[in-house]
Amino acid sequence: MHYKDAKSILSSKNGMNPYRGCTHGCIYCDSRSECYGMTYTFEDVEVKQNAPQLLEDALRKKRGRSMIATGAMSDPYLPLEKSERLTRHCLEIIDRYGFGFSVITKSDLVLRDMDLLQSIHHKAKCVVQMTLTTYDEALCRILEPNVATTRRRFEVLKELQSAGIPTVVWLTPILPFLNDTEENIQELLSYCGEAGVRGILTFGIGMTLRSGNREYFYQKLDEHFPGMKQRYMRAFGTAYGIKSPNGKTLGKLVKEFCKQNDILCGTQTVFDYLNQLDRPQEQLSLFE
């Protein structure tokens, strides 16, 4: 890793990334794409050491409260967060100023900050989003080698449910010919149901491949699934958006499950929920 003083931390849509780059090693990661302009090795994580101060400066100037989001480009709960604690310091600031918070992660380290997540949710709103791709633990170790396994992420979702923190699952990416089976989707949906998730995102049942992440993905396919790269090249060529051939069937499974279990489904619907800041909970009467 290396340290850097960033010029700003909040995007125009109130997203932030205290870190840039990742050590999770997920073979499909879109953040490796050349279009993001990284000038160093992806695993050499950039630590934006002044992120908390930048965040406080930005929140102090805002006229109204909103949801602050993180995790879209880099997981804020990388292993180095245990020592750097940038994410926790940012949470303390968000809590102090009464803003809402949403995070996307694959790490159980999020549980370390349960005290702040609950405090933020009590004052405004907090949503933890967890990515689930495959029920098969052995396959998970290949696709996502350096993060909590799917089973552990399910346990994290359960703990968040018990603590009163709403959750959303990103059921993506679904990789053609690898995890795009009805059995896999049904098992993951079972996890979602048991964990009481508030919403599920699928982004059309598929994945993305473009210059930068395509080369890394194909390298890993050659390493773990001989012949699979050629199958991808024949089926999809150089397409960016890749849809599973089973997409319609799998999408129907997800929609029916969400309808039956009163779970938010559909990209716009779920993002509207994530971006909406609820009003603070009313103070209980002294006589109640």
3-class secondary structure, 34: helix
Mean confidence (pLDDT) of the chain: 94
* 194 occurs within a structural domain: yes
State the pLDDT at residue 288.
32
Distance CA 238, CA 134 (A): 25
Do 187 and 261 fall into the same domain? yes
Q: Specify the DSSP element, H or E, that contains 171.
A: none
Looking at 97, 124, 151, the residue that finishes a domain is 124
User: What is the per-residue pLDDT for 96?
Assistant: 97
Look at residue 224 and tell me if it is in a domain: no
Domain count for the chain, please give it.
Answer: 2
- Among left, alpha and beta (phi > 0; psi -120 to 50; other), residue 17 is beta
* Cis peptide bond upstream of 79, omega within 30: no
Distance between CA atoms of residues 203 and 102, nearest Å: 18
Please check whether residue 222 lies inside any domain of the structure: no
The CA-atom distances, in angstroms, between 88 and each of 5, 242, 274 are: 18, 36, 20
The answer to whether residues 157 and 77 belong to one domain is no
Whether 198 is covered by a domain: the verdict is yes
**Does residue 69 sit in the same domain as residue 189?**
no
The one-letter amino acid code at 223 reads E
Nearest to 105, CA basis, from 117, 122, 118, 121: 117
Cα–Cα dist 125/166, whole Å:
9
Say yes or no: 140 and 111 in one domain.
no
**Tokens representing residue 175 in the block:** 């990789």
Do residues 132 and 268 both lie within one domain? Answer: yes
Residue type (1 letter), 107: S
Q: What is the CATH number of the domain that holds 175?
A: 3.20.20.70
For residue 159, give the H/E element and its range: helix 150-162
What's the pLDDT tens digit per position in 96-122? 999 999 999 999 999 999 999 999 999
What CA–CA distance (Å, rounded) separates 110 from 78? Answer: 10
Residues 256 and 180 in one domain: yes
Residue 273 domain-assigned (yes or no)? yes
pLDDT in tens, 191-207: 999 999 999 999 999 99
- 190: Cβ contacts below 8 Å, ≥ 6 apart: none
Neighbour tally for 96: CB within 10 Å: 13
35 plus 118 within the same structural domain:
yes
> Does the residue 142 lie in any domain?
yes
- Does residue 71 fall inside a structural domain? yes
Same-domain status, 162 and 248: yes
Which pLDDT score, from 0 to 100, does residue 284 have? 35
Kindly state whether residues 73 and 193 are assigned to the same domain: no
Question: Residue 112: what pLDDT?
Answer: 98
DSSP-derived secondary structure letter, 250 = H
Angle of the 86-97 helix axis to the 51-61 helix axis, nearest 10: 20
Q: Of 124, 141, 164, which one is at a domain's C-terminal end? A: 124
Round to whole Å and give the CA distance between 71 and 163: 21
**How, if at all, do strands 46-48 and 19-20 pair?**
antiparallel
pLDDT of residue 53: 98
Residues 6+ apart with CB under 8 A from 62: none
Domain span at residue 106 reads 1-124
Q: For residue 219, is it within any domain?
A: no
Let me know: does 187 contact 135? Beta carbons within 8 Å: yes
* Same domain membership, residue 101 and residue 154: no
pLDDT in tens, 25-61: 999 999 999 988 887 799 999 999 999 999 999 999 9
> For the chain, what is the total number of helices (H) and then of strands (E)?
11, 12
Q: Assess whether 69 and 19 both reside in one domain.
A: yes
Question: Which token pair is 168?
Answer: 């959303």
Query: Could you tell me if 141 and 94 lie in one domain?
Result: no
Where is the domain boundary, 65, 99, 124?
Answer: 124
Per-residue model confidence as pLDDT tens for the chain (288 residues): 999 999 999 999 999 999 999 999 999 999 999 988 887 799 999 999 999 999 999 999 998 999 999 998 899 999 999 999 999 999 999 999 999 999 999 999 999 999 999 999 999 999 999 999 999 999 999 999 999 999 999 999 999 999 999 999 999 999 999 999 999 999 999 999 999 999 999 999 999 999 999 999 999 999 999 999 999 999 999 999 999 999 999 999 999 999 999 999 999 999 999 999 975 444 433 333
